[in-house]
Structure 1
Amino acid sequence: MAKNANQKLKLLYLYQILLNKTDEDHLLSMDELLASLSHYGIAAERKSIYSDIAALQDFGLDVILQKGPHGGYFVASRSFELAELKLLVDAIQCSRFITEKKSNELIKKIESLASEPQARALQRQVYISDRVKTMNESIYYNIDKLHSAISAGVQITYQYFEWVLDFHAAQRIQKRYRKEGSLYQVSPWALTWDDENYYLIAYDNDSRQIRHYRVDKMEHISLTDHPREGRALFQDRFNIASYSRKVFGMFSGEEKNVRLCCENRFIGVILDRFGTDLIIMPEDETHFSVNVPVVVSPQFFSWIFGLGGAVRITSPDEVRAAFQHQLQALRE
């Protein structure tokens, strides 16, 4: 058998060929394996390939030989199934907080976990996905910094901005920093994904309250040497899932215990929003009532309004009055 510089890499190239070219729907015969190795300048005998495949199987690669006229070798299982990779691709596409550039980079890496034919199926899935993405390219690294700060238990500083419209400027959509560009300093405790955006949940040192911030609107994040504050709030009673359920659209407001009267057919809507740990009380044959903790905000009222009268606020009176005031403002 001919010897060359690549000959000692034969086993590695065979491993790569099987992973890249084969799956349960795409098999390679012995002749095709030999031809693929020849492409890398490697001459091999059938007997040595049998031995190499046995070594790869001992190593843990799930290589199967399917016998028959159209048979051949293929990798039968991988770390991720194709359905799982499609799920990851769709999650990235749905994530507004990941920029289009970073989405493409991540999906390219996910494709490397599949065979080349399967990767093409993933690419077709990407083409039919067209969703709004954030314009903040640094968010991927912001998340990494925030995780580091949470793990280290230290405070962070950053600038927080919003998008504004200025028709008199050459660039009509402008970035404007809040607090006139002054640094925020908070104690980060958790990250949550809500309403297609990533949020930092933190303890605000000045107001001594729990706040949340859009991660894609944070810039110039720095870790400080100051230990986090607010430990008692987060250890004793804070629950991220509960927090997300009662904060609509991640808009702040005053938390109230609100009683809702709902049509029976909307029980699924209530369970989806507030979870299953609820006390459901019958009102009549077609309605039920439930008490839920809610951060009262215009977004909560919009959610009620969008249900078309099937869900009504029955108490407390001040929340009912605030909702009626919101409706009157809309009429005007």
Structure 2
Amino acid sequence: MNNRERLLEVRRFFERYTDEANPKTLEDLLEYLSTIGDTSKLAKKSVKDDIQALNNSGFEVQDELEKNGLAKKYWHSARLFEIHELRMMVDAIVAAKFISEDVTEEIVEKLQMLTSIPEAKTLQSIIKTPKKKHGHIPYHIDRIQRAIHERKAISFQYTDVVGFDVTKRTFPLRRDGERYVVNPIDLHWNHEQYYLIGIDESIGEVRNYRVDRIVNSEIVEDGTIRPKHHLPDDYYQKSFNMYNGSDEQIVLSVDERVLPVIFDKLGEDVSVSEHGERFLIRFDAAVSDGFIYWLLSLGSQVEVVEPLTLRDHMKTTIEKMATTYENTSIHSSIE
């Protein structure tokens, strides 16, 4: 082991085996080096020079003063990420439903490499999230980002939400497998899912696509540079659960207890006025299934006042739900 190789191993030792809570002595370092090469003629001064060389290069190795006859201890500090920052990243990766089990494991292992082995053992998330065992979402995200940067279209197939095959446990492809060609504008994170937002070139309109439902994505290499598009500033505010829909002016009568939920969704600048014991909320939104599902989730604390077409639609939807539970239960037939 020559001097250059030894210096690299000294750096690796401090990087992987030490931290503020786990300092090591020169004897520990010499023992580590002896497992790699012959250290019988290696003097402590040479190792100390290596440590000084690392400090001079910007790789910080701290030491504590010798006291009570104990050997001086050393450790690597000033890492790129603090342990609490790594823990937040690990938790975020584990909590993300769209990241499959195998990709989650790979990313967490890479994050663990950014700290010492003792601290890496603490980076085990207690969060339990249902995930697919395998997935291709990271590859779709990479292609979409490249297409946005290079101003190219992205081509893919898209799975449906109806027609589930119980045996294969799969959904069929939309348009009988015909490929979508989309000029991508943005990738957006919403409700634990990634969405591709872009212009469907077959209809010339902006559409949202869940990335986890994209299959066989490819960058369109046709030599055409697509025009760069920008979404309206209020696009995400109007879009509920990333469903597309027609813009309408909405008036809701809401209970005071649900105001924090309204502000979380619409922002605190939304128009609010008192109306008896309730409040009137006015805003513009894309009326879609996603918007209706959101309203239903708020129950009787929210009432649609305008437009009347939406109010009537809500009434019909609620009546259908009530009818479902009024009918004879299927419970006895599945016991």
Q: TM-score, length-normalised on structure 2?
A: 0.87
User: Deviation at 1:7?
Assistant: 4.6
Q: Does 1:28 align with 2:28?
A: no
- Identify which range, 210-219 or 35-44, moves more after superposition: 35-44
Distance 1:36 1:256, change over 3 A: same
2:237 maps to 1:238? no
Once the two structures are superposed, residues 241-270 of structure 1 have per-residue CA deviations (whole angstroms, 9 ceiling, x without a partner) of x43333222223222221222233333212
Please point out which of 164, 168, 173 is paired with 1:172: 168
Note closer, same or farther for the CA distance 1:179–1:103 as it changes in structure 2 (3 Å cut). same
Partner-residue secondary structure (3-state), 2:122: helix
Q: Distance in 2 between matches of 1:160 and 1:308?
A: 33
- Counterpart in 2 of 1:75? 76
Q: Deviations over 1:32-71 (max 9, x none)?
A: 1121122212523221222111111111122110234485
- Larger displacement relative to structure 2 (131-140 or 266-275): 131-140
Q: How many residues align structurally?
A: 315
* Correspondence for 1:227 among 212, 225, 228: 225
- Among candidates 248, 258, 262, match of residue 256 of structure 1: 248
CA distance in 2, matches of 1:157, 1:172: 25
Distance 2:297 2:158 in 1: 31
- Kindly report which structure 2 residues correspond to 1:284-323, keeping only aligned pairs within 5 A, or say none: 284=276, 286-323=277-314
How many angstroms apart in 1 are the aligned matches of 2:29 and 2:287? 65
Number of the residue aligned with 1:38: 34
- AA matched with 1:301: I
Query: What is the 5 A alignment of 1:50-69?
Result: 50-67=48-65, 68=67, 69=70
**Runs of 4+ with deviation above 4 angstroms:** none
Aligned counterpart, 2:5: 9
- Of 39-48 and 207-216, more deviation after overlay is shown by 39-48
Alpha-carbon distance in structure 2 between the residues aligned to 1:166 and 1:173: 5
Q: Which runs of 5+ in 2 are unaligned?
A: 324-335
**2:266 aligns to what?**
274
Report if the CA contact (8 A) 1:7-1:42 is conserved. Answer: no
In 2: Cα distance, 1:178 partner to 1:307 partner: 32
Q: Partner amino acid for 2:172? A: R
- What is the rounded CA distance, in whole Å, between the counterparts of 2:145 and 2:134 in structure 1? 18
Partner of 2:113: 112
1:122-154 CA distance string (max 9 Å, x none) = 1x32xx332122466222111111111111112
Aligned-partner Cα distance in 1 for 2:19–2:101: 29
Could you tell me which residue of structure 1 aligns to residue 151 of structure 2? 153
Residues 221-240 of structure 1: CA deviation (Å, up to 9, x unaligned): 222223335x5xx43x523x
CA distance in 2, matches of 1:266, 1:72: 57
The aligned residue for residue 210 of structure 1 is 206
CA contact (8 A) 1:10 1:42 kept: no
Aligned to 2:331: none
How far apart are the structure 2 equivalents of 1:300 and 1:219?
A: 27
Q: Deviations over 1:263-312 (max 9, x none)?
A: 3333321221112332332334x533222222223332332232232222
Alignment match, 1:96: 97
CA spacing shift, 1:96–1:291, aligned 2, 3 Å: same
Describe the superposition over 1:182-210 as per-residue Cα deviations: whole angstroms up to 9, x where unpaired. 11112111101111111100111222211
Q: Percent identity of the aligned residues?
A: 30
Match of 2:196 in 1: 200
- Gapped runs of 5+ residues in structure 1? none
Distance 1:182 1:61, change over 3 A: same
Contact 1:134 1:216 in 2 (8 A): no
Q: Quickly say closer, same or farther: Cα 1:37–1:267, change in 2 above 3 A.
A: same
3-state DSSP of counterpart to 2:24: coil
Instruction: Tell me by how many angstroms 1:180 deviates.
Output: 0.8
- Are the aligned partners of 1:6 and 1:42 in contact in 2 as well (CA < 8 Å)? no
- Match for residue 140 of structure 1? 138
2:17–2:118 CA contact under 8 A, matched in 1: yes
Q: Which amino acid aligns with 2:265?
A: R
- Two-structure CA RMSD over aligned residues (Å): 2.1
**CA distance in structure 2 between the partners assigned to 1:214 and 1:114 by the alignment:** 34
Shift of 1:179: 0.7
> Which residue pairs with 2:128 in the alignment?
130
**Paired residue type of 1:57:** N
CA drift of 1:18 comes to: 0.3
Q: Tell me the TM-score normalised to structure 1 length.
A: 0.88
Relative to structure 1, the CA distance from residue 259 to residue 70 in structure 2 (aligned partners, 3 Å threshold; closer, same or farther) is farther
Q: Which structure features the higher share of strand residues?
A: 1
